[in-house]
Amino acid sequence: MGDLNDGLRTPGALMLGGGNPAAIPEMLDYFSETTRKMLSSGELVAAMANYDGPQGKDTFVKGLAALLKETYGWDISEKNISLTNGSQSAFFYLFNLLAGKQPDGSHKKILLPLAPEYIGYCDSGIQDDIFVSYKPEIELLDNQQFKYHVDFSQIEIDDSVAAICASRPTNPTGNLLTDEEVYKLDKLAKKHNIPLILDNAYGTPFPNIVFEHATPFWNDNTILCMSLSKLGLPGVRCGIVIANEEITQALTNINGIIGLAPGSIGPTIAQHMIESNDLLRLSDDVIKPFYQQKSAQAISLLQSAIPDPRFRIHKPEGAIFLWLWFDELPITTMELYQRLKARGVLIVPGEYFFFGQQEKEWQHSKQCLRMNYVQNDEDMQNGIKIIAEEVIKAYS
Ligand SMILES: Cc1ncc(COP(=O)(O)O)c(C=O)c1O
């Protein structure tokens, strides 16, 4: 996080580390035009001049419930949706609501079935040690790619597990849990009477940064967390939690206690987008193809710059990152990160994404790194050139 701040202040830094969405020209034009209209209609000022209720803007909550019901046939209403100031705070609320020290003195954890997993969960426990995570199975694919799968044979659930949680598509890897994996996790969660939290920050139906088919999933034992951020609106800080009524009520109460009410501007813009049928249209026709093309371009640059057969890329199935694996790399990616930082390129070393592991040492976790591919073409080319030079130097 320090690098994100420092990098922003360092002119010329190539920021391939952070999770800011791309500045997609069509989306920026759309937001300018939409907010201009909303300003002249008075909607925007009304959003700024009033508190919403603690559950979040009710017109948006109702509009979204109707949209999801219509699109997917889910049995939901406005009683199943609450808003937060960014989905990051939703995870903080949920993890601390469900895990950590319990009234009976026991300590519960969130089970992450597939590490590497989103770094933003790592420090979100009020108490320490609230995660248990499992190493994946690695499938080697053609074209120097690979894919992680949940290793169900390892997963153990007892009374100490409060919930199962996974991001789909996954930050950092771009992995998309298969439908079969999600059904199995759902079954496991129900069997043990615990919720399944699915982090849909990049998923369908919006922002829909998903490049493979995956059936959208929700039932009343699922807590589906969404966000307006990767639609291109991280600054409005709007997270969306779709859950059963009990969880929705609990989150509403937490919102009231912590912040009175979630912010109103994001939901007002999003409601406008639902009413004008732009939310799903732009996700499908602008956002998804933009990222898919950027991802393919970055892969092609990387593969021609680093022809070494020990270098593989996780199959890009969604999200805004590429996960690079340098097998047998003689240095850790933490060291590689330092060398790249000295040359003005910021990436995130893989080690950080393996929190909650019981076995401490897994060489693979020190051989991977996350880079985003959202920067402009020139920065991507320059950043990849420097990464390639440092990797080739390290191998030799
Ligand atoms: C997987 C995942 N979940 C949640 C978040 C939190 O996003 P926000 O708080 O902007 O909604 C992010 C942000 O990058 C993310 O990558």
Taking the C-alpha atoms of residue 322 and residue 211, their distance in angstroms, rounded to an integer, is 13
- 81-99: pLDDT as tens digits: 999 999 999 999 999 999 9
- Cβ < 6 Å from ligand 1: which residues? 19, 86-88, 118, 120, 167, 171, 199, 201, 227, 229, 234, 239
Give the mutation target among 94, 165, 170, 171 for probing the ligand 1 site: most ligand atoms within 8 A of CB: 171
Q: What are the structure tokens assigned to 378, written together?
A: 């020139």
DSSP H or E run through 225: strand 222-227
The bridge status of strand 145-149 relative to strand 137-141 is antiparallel
- 44-92: pLDDT as tens digits: 999 999 999 999 999 999 999 999 999 999 999 999 999 999 999 999 9
State yes or no: cis peptide before 216, omega within 30 of 0: no
pLDDT of residue 12: 83
Does the CA dihedral 247-47-89-373 come out positive or negative? positive
Does the model's pTM come out above 0.85? yes
Does 233 have pLDDT greater than 90?
A: yes
In the reported structure, the alpha carbon of residue 327 is separated from the centroid of ligand 1 by a whole-number distance in angstroms of 28
Q: Whose C-alpha lies nearest to ligand 1, atom 1? A: 171
Q: What is the pLDDT averaged over residues 109-134?
A: 97
Mean pLDDT of the chain: 96
Does 319 have pLDDT greater than 80?
A: yes
Is residue 155 within 8 A of residue 131, CB to CB? The reply is: no
Q: What is the DSSP letter of 175?
A: -
The alpha carbon of residue 278 and the mean position of all alpha carbons in its chain are separated, in whole angstroms, by 22
With a pLDDT cut of 90, the percent of the chain lying above it is 95
Give 146's strand partners.
140, 314
